[in-house]
Amino acid sequence: MHYIRPHQQRGHANFGWLSSHHSFSFGQYYDPSHMGISNLRVINDDQVAGGAGFDPHGHRDMEIISYILEGTIEHKDSMGNHFLIPAGDVQIMSAGSGIMHSEYNHHSDQALKFLQIWILPEEQGITPRYEQKTIAQDGVLTPLVTPNGEQGSLSINADASLYRLQLAAGEATTLHFPKRSGYLHVIEGDVEVTSEHGQNTLTSGDGAGTLNAERIALKATASGVQALWFDLAPAERL
């Protein structure tokens, strides 16, 4: 892979109620060598204390995805949506021309863990939009978010698709993405990644990206692996 992002080297912010690890520059954490991959701009690995959360705040022209790992998010927004999003669900919000929202840990007695993902939009100024869905794993690679909502996935206003990758211990697969960019974020377990640039072993929280490649080969170790795979727009730089 062109780019390896070890989990222990990520940016970190701790506000007491929130512990957040940033794969790419975000907020007060800035590193010009870690600004995202293609149109993938943010992956924050967030842990929110019981009953705490993000007060109402605004966004514009960003595709914002939440992938819930543990607990339940309580979502409210200026479009009138008020939903609970449990572990395993996927949420997407197209901020478009502007939206206000809040995200809280619905439970007072347990932590909320989720991945906050931002992707640059294909079209700016669109009408804000909200969706969430429970998507069961179907095979090795299951689409969660795609431009056209393919195979029951959520739709996104971006040249990007997000998949959940799951391999049992010792299982292998090859991802093909001719002349596009890609990024792999490991949720749990370990996986060997082989590309034209060599082989690397990734573990929980690690990431790896490549630009305009052809394929990468993946093989889970004895623990198996669950990860997110981003199929991204072609790009000139990491």
CB 155 within 8 A of CB 147: yes
For the chain, give the mean pLDDT: 95
State mean pLDDT over 166-171. 97
Q: Domain boundaries in the chain?
A: 8-135
> pLDDT band at 161, cuts 50/70/90?
very high
DSSP-based three-state secondary structure for 28 = coil
CATH superfamily of 8-135: Jelly Rolls (2.60.120.10)
DSSP-based three-state secondary structure for 119 = strand
Distances (CA, A) of 222 to 12, 167, 189, 191, 205: 29, 10, 9, 9, 18
CB 132 within 8 A of CB 89: yes
Q: Is 12 a known ligand-binding residue?
A: no
Task: Give the pTM.
Answer: 0.96
For the chain, the straight-line distance linking the first and the last C-alpha, in angstroms and rounded, comes to: 11
Does residue 219 have a pLDDT over 60?
A: yes
For tokens 């690397």, the residue is: 200
Write down the pLDDT at residue 215.
87
DSSP-based three-state secondary structure for 151 = helix
What single-letter DSSP state applies at residue 33? T
CA dist., res. 99 & res. 40, Å (int): 20
Q: Is 197 a known ligand-binding residue?
A: no
Does residue 197 have a pLDDT over 80?
A: no
Q: What angle do CA 233, 66, 192 make, to 5 degrees?
A: 60
What is the sign, positive or negative, of the torsion defined by CA atoms of 146, 150, 152, 155?
A: positive
State mean pLDDT over 6-22. 97
Q: Is 107 a known ligand-binding residue?
A: no
Q: Which amino acid is at 167?
A: L
Q: Tens digit of pLDDT for each residue in 74-107?
A: 999 999 999 999 999 999 999 999 999 999 999 9
Q: Is 150 a known ligand-binding residue?
A: no
Instruction: Report the side by side order of strands in the sheet with 40-48.
Output: 11-14, 18-22, 40-48, 112-119, 63-70, 89-94, 129-134
> pLDDT band at 4, cuts 50/70/90?
very high
